[in-house]
């Protein structure tokens, strides 16, 4: 499961807004400190971010996201073994400065980011489960 969520094309295949990414600085896989440029889309809206991997262990993949050099969010995938496979928990934290939040609407079209992200997490986890079971 870690291989799927830490692989940029794999993650793009199951995520709701993340449309893909490119590793930066000659890195070609997830490792602590690695950076990637992420492409995101929502309908006709498209935006890019730069993320830094903060955890790259078999039980957790996490990264901090910046846009225009400003902190935007943190995303984390926790993977716990179970009797029948594993349990994945996807979490996010909004890191945008208060003054920046209204401006992000123009890029994303999202007014309530926390509600929107929760819906996306539910959809992403369902897609992740389907991909893992197929």
Asked if residue 18 lies in contact with residue 40, where contact means CB atoms within 8 angstroms, the answer is yes
Separation between Cα atoms, residue 119 and residue 124, nearest integer Å: 9
**Could you give the percent of the chain with pLDDT greater than 90?**
93
Average pLDDT for 17-22: 96
CA-wise closest residue to 8 among 33, 34, 45: 34
Separation between Cα atoms, residue 102 and residue 116, nearest integer Å: 15
pTM over 0.85: yes
Three-state secondary structure readout of 17-60: CEEEEEECCCCCCCCCCCEEEEEEEECCEEEEEEEEEEEEECCE
Query: pLDDT tens digits, residue range 20-79?
Result: 999 999 999 999 999 999 999 999 999 999 999 999 999 999 999 999 999 999 999 999
Q: CATH code at 42?
A: 3.30.530.20
Q: How many domains does the chain have?
A: 1
**For residue 96, what are the domain limits?**
2-133
């Amino acid at each position: 499961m870690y291989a799927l969520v830490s692989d940029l094309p794999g993650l793009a295949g199951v995520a709701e807004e993340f449309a893909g990414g490119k590793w930066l600085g000659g890195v070609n896989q997830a490792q602590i400190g690695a950076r990637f440029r992420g492409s995101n889309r929502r309908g006709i809206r498209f935006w890019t971010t730069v993320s830094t991997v903060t955890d790259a262990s078999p039980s957790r993949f996490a990264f901090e996201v910046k846009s225009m050099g400003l902190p935007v969010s943190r995303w984390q995938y926790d993977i716990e073994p179970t009797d029948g496979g594993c349990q994945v928990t996807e979490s996010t934290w909004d890191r945008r400065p208060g003054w920046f939040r209204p401006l992000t609407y123009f890029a994303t079209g999202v007014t309530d980011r926390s509600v929107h992200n929760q819906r996306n997490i539910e959809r992403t986890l369902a897609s992740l489960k389907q991909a893992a079971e197929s």
